[in-house]
Structure 1
């Protein structure tokens, strides 16, 4: 006897996200960001994660998702029969993995439940070939690999043992409405005061984990070049956690702080620590910098664009795909002198900053919305061919 249509639809519209990571970066935040929109578009979401992680905590009070936690990735493997029963009781038809190491569990679930569609998003950008026997066994069971940029797509099609047709590009997206300015003038001034930004200063900021790869050092070097050239107008804001549990590199952070102190720039450089109000922080910044050496995507770039900021990004990785002509500036991530020159140009041209920010917001709303990303994701879940642009 065939299932009723309503039951078939229920099976088609349930997805399990697997993210067995103890970190807290873009990869781990991804389910938190997309699930509300996924639910709005008609899907029921489930998440398998590790006990006590930031991801588990972030989802704990959500009514939009059911969370199942395990103590370790190996414990998840021991619980495989129970996980299969859990999947089948709930009628889950799609499993979406976000770490390559989680694909082992996904592939085993697919072996036991051949009806599942197994999806993997490569958030990091693969760095070495995956053609050994183990990876061939795993990827034979993957229905689709999602590449988050053209930069990673080319590498993925070389590295993964899959036909090119099963490796699909899909840009990430953000809820652009969150970044629409909301603060009154007095509130913006209060926030700038709290951050130690002088009233007439041009605030230059870098939001992101404080680690060498994110480029804080090259930006600090560029800022010190401005100071050496007589700049008394600019103020540098480094936004990101200062503890290891918040994604920071303590040795690197100590080095940055020491350089600031040795140059007597404590009043001109702000370390904000981890902030949950980035959308509001953007309102009091003038220039947003993303000097990462090799971003697989660059979520901060599109967030700053959605906020209408003038963005300076690295001319490397995926960032050039995001910053369109007339929306910002691109600079070599290893050239502090070039960064200083670009910052000087934008510092002295408020009308240009506004022009670039307006164009950036327009582009973000056209290409990088969360709704657009989830619509593309649903097409992958439902196995519908769809142009990605």
Structure 2
């Protein structure tokens, strides 16, 4: 096993099953760019990629090699992906694979003396039938497992990853110093993220329809629900209230100065969206799912039940009226720990520790 290049840098291979617009992808790209600036170059390999995902990577200075799978590999243990990765991972000092389909394949492909890091952002229960036996077969090969929430931690332990190899995952959040974008309505409600079922934008539209006098609502994002949400807005008579702004890599300028950030997720381990709002002094409303309440805990935000538009509507009206308060000062302080430079430093040090550590015994 190499402990890096002569100049002190190390070569990182990152693996994703699917490169698309999303918080997890933004997180790994931000860390990769920050580490490259510190002398640790990254090569990124993807089982599949959307055009917008590829463009997102290029904007972060990362070129991607794509296998071109026609199926979604994020939750699939695919031997073909593992075989494709094997020659491409040669020469890396360490490999960091993100999401189940990627870390399973990387575990099958990577050389025995190269540290393998896995990251998981969510639990597995909502993904359908979980391949526990396949996960258990490679669990002993994982040198570090970053669990970004309670569901991911529970899944790693159930799969057989050794507890001493598990760490709490952290995600970088960009835009903490953003200033409000001129010309935006005030007050306003904002939603930023993928327009997909797990993020619950449809729940937000239902909640807005229940409010007595909703202010303008700005929805920033793209995804499979885009057309359905626009239809939902028209049917609810909210075309003059809800505006769709498309995907924005760094939405801080749109969030800054907002009255409230709505995050009605059905599944959420952490929420970079909430942390950005906190850093910008914007009250955040989230849901009681997975690790999300810990992000919003101790008065840093407000939590409502998932799948409950009426509760969300009441919370939005409470924040707008001032009846529902948030400890914005505490939220700002807490959010600062997720600054990109700090997060990159945490990963850099752990990578270095893994490269210098004796190779662990592998499970039979």
Tell me the CA shift for residue 287 of structure 1: 0.6
* Paired positions, count: 343
Deviation, 1:28, is 2.8
What corresponds to 1:25 in structure 2? Answer: 22
Matches within 5 A, 1:51-200: 53-60=51-58, 65=62, 67-72=64-69, 77=82, 79=84, 82-83=87-88, 87-88=90-91, 92-110=92-110, 113-127=111-125, 130-132=131-133, 134-157=134-157, 159-175=158-174, 178-183=175-180, 188=182, 190=183, 192=184, 197=185
Q: Following the alignment from structure 1 to structure 2, what is the Cα–Cα distance between the partners of residues 248 and 62?
A: 24
Q: List per-residue Cα deviations over 1:155-202 (Å, max 9, x = no partner).
A: 432x22222112221222213xx232335xxx62x2x1xxxx3xxx52
Q: Are 1:339 and 2:312 matched, yes or no?
A: yes
Query: What is the CA deviation profile of residues 309-338 of structure 1, one whole-angstrom value per residue up to 9, with x for unaligned ones?
Result: 111111222211111323221111233332
Q: What secondary structure does 1:280 align onto? A: helix
Task: Note closer, same or farther for the CA distance 1:224–1:204 as it changes in structure 2 (3 Å cut).
Answer: same
CA distance in 1, matches of 2:170, 2:60: 25
Asked if the contact 1:311/1:329 (under 8 Å) is kept, the reply is yes
SS of the residue aligned with 2:256?
helix
- State the secondary structure of the residue aligned to 1:30: helix
Tell me which of 257, 270, 284 is aligned to 1:297: 270
- In structure 2, what is the Cα distance between the partners aligned to 1:122 and 1:180? 28
Question: Kindly tell me: are residues 290 and 98 of structure 1, through their superposed partners in 2, closer, same or farther at Cα, counting changes over 3 Å?
Answer: same
Shift of 1:7: 4.2
Q: Does 2:244 align with 1:271?
A: yes
Shift of 1:248: 2.9
Name the residue aligned to 1:364: 335
For the 8 Å contact 1:125–1:156, the answer to whether it is kept is no
Secondary structure in structure 2 of the residue aligned to 1:179: coil
Query: Could you say what secondary structure the match of 1:146 adopts?
Result: strand
Q: CA RMSD in A?
A: 3.2
Q: Which runs of 5+ in 1 are unaligned?
A: 242-246
Deviations 1:191-230 (A, max 9, x none): x1xxxx3xxx521122222233322233233322222xxx
Q: Distance in 2 between matches of 1:307 and 1:26?
A: 18
Q: Are residues 93 and 282 of structure 1, via their aligned partners in 2, closer, same or farther at CA, if it must alter by over 3 Å?
A: same
How many Å separate the matches in 2 of 1:36 and 1:123?
20
CA distance in 1, matches of 2:41, 2:170: 22
Q: TM-score, normalised by structure 1?
A: 0.76
* 2:221 alignment counterpart: 240
> CA 1:343/1:105 → structure 2, altered by over 3 Å: closer, same or farther?
closer
Preserved contact between residue 150 and residue 169 of structure 1 (Cα < 8 Å): no
CA drift at 1:76: 5.5
The residue number in structure 1 matching 2:350 is 380
Q: CA separation in 2, counterparts of 1:260 and 1:81?
A: 51
Give the 3 Å change call, closer, same or farther, for CA 53–383 of structure 1 in structure 2. farther
Distance in 2, matches of 1:61 and 1:224, equals 37
